[in-house]
Structure 1
Amino acid sequence: MDKISLGKVSATPEAEAFLAEIIADHGPVLFHQSGGCCDGSSPMCYPRGDFIVGDGDVMLGEIGDTPVYISASQYEAWKHTNLIIDVVPGRGGMFSLDNGRERRFLTRSTICVVPSAIERD
């Protein structure tokens, strides 16, 4: 099944540089936003061939050539936001490729602005 990108994800330059380090070590990867419904949740970073994207996952977009997925239930909670992948000090999730690097990915969010009917006319 092809996944449709919603283009609702971006990354900070620091996250892009960190992602490049991980790709240099592990080859192509993907992100999956798992758990949490709030600003500050951790996206998990996996080797692309090691994570099976399910029929219930939604592709938010790509960071470079790296796809970013979220579960359908998580998407419902975050569908009115733009997600920004950032990097902060700390340890990543146990199975995420950012673990053990003393930095971890972090998801930040901004509310999407929807023009009112008056602004659209």
Structure 2
Amino acid sequence: MVNRIDATQKAKDLIQDLKSKHGDLMFYQAGGCCEGTQPQCFEKGGFFPRMNDVMIGEVENSEFWVDKDLFEYWKYSHFELDVLDGFGAGGFSLETPLGKTFKINYRLFTEEELAELVPLKLMD
């Protein structure tokens, strides 16, 4: 099976650091205004996905949810979670006080990968 999301080692290291401070985590990537399309990291349960939002997978055992409309736009793309030094579009994400920003790198799936994708989970 082909994962819809993976992470760079730099992102994995930051996630482990955040877990040591905050416990279990989750990610949500919206498609709009306040935070743009920057992925946001929360304590697990600190954000409630909306009806029909999509969990595309897990990163370091942390669910990664995507806004339903954004997912429609990117559903043929592989997500790679990465991290940059500096502040992103907003300040709600747990990495912000550390002077870090999660970001996503995208690439299109190949035809072979599309046939082998891990199933999605939808928010009821």
What is the TM-score normalised by the length of structure 1? 0.81
Q: State yes or no: 1:7 paired with 2:3.
A: yes
Q: How many residues end up aligned between the 2 structures? A: 107
> 1:35·1:74 contact (CA, 8 Å) conserved in 2?
yes
Q: Secondary structure at the match of 1:23?
A: helix
Structure 1 partner of 2:54: 58
Structure 2 partner of 1:43: 39
Unpaired runs of at least 5, structure 2: 113-124
Higher Cα Rg, which structure: 1
Structure 2 partner of 1:78: 74
Partner amino acid, structure 2, of 1:100: P
Unpaired runs of at least 5, structure 1: 1-5, 116-121
Q: CA deviation at 1:35?
A: 2.4
Q: Which runs of 4+ in 1 moved over 4 A?
A: none
What is the TM-score normalised by the length of structure 2? 0.79
Q: Highest relative contact order (Cα 8 Å, sep 6+), 1 or 2?
A: 2
Among 73, 82, 100, the residue aligned to 1:103 = 100
Q: CA deviation at 1:64?
A: 2.0
1 CA distance for matches of 2:59 and 2:103?
A: 14
**Cα deviations across residues 33-78 of structure 1 (Å, max 9, x unaligned)?**
1126xxxx42000111211122221000001210100011000000
2 CA distance for matches of 1:57 and 1:114?
A: 25
Among 91, 94, 100, the residue aligned to 2:91 = 94
Name the % identity.
Answer: 28
Q: CA deviation at 1:7?
A: 3.2
1 CA distance for matches of 2:15 and 2:104?
A: 14
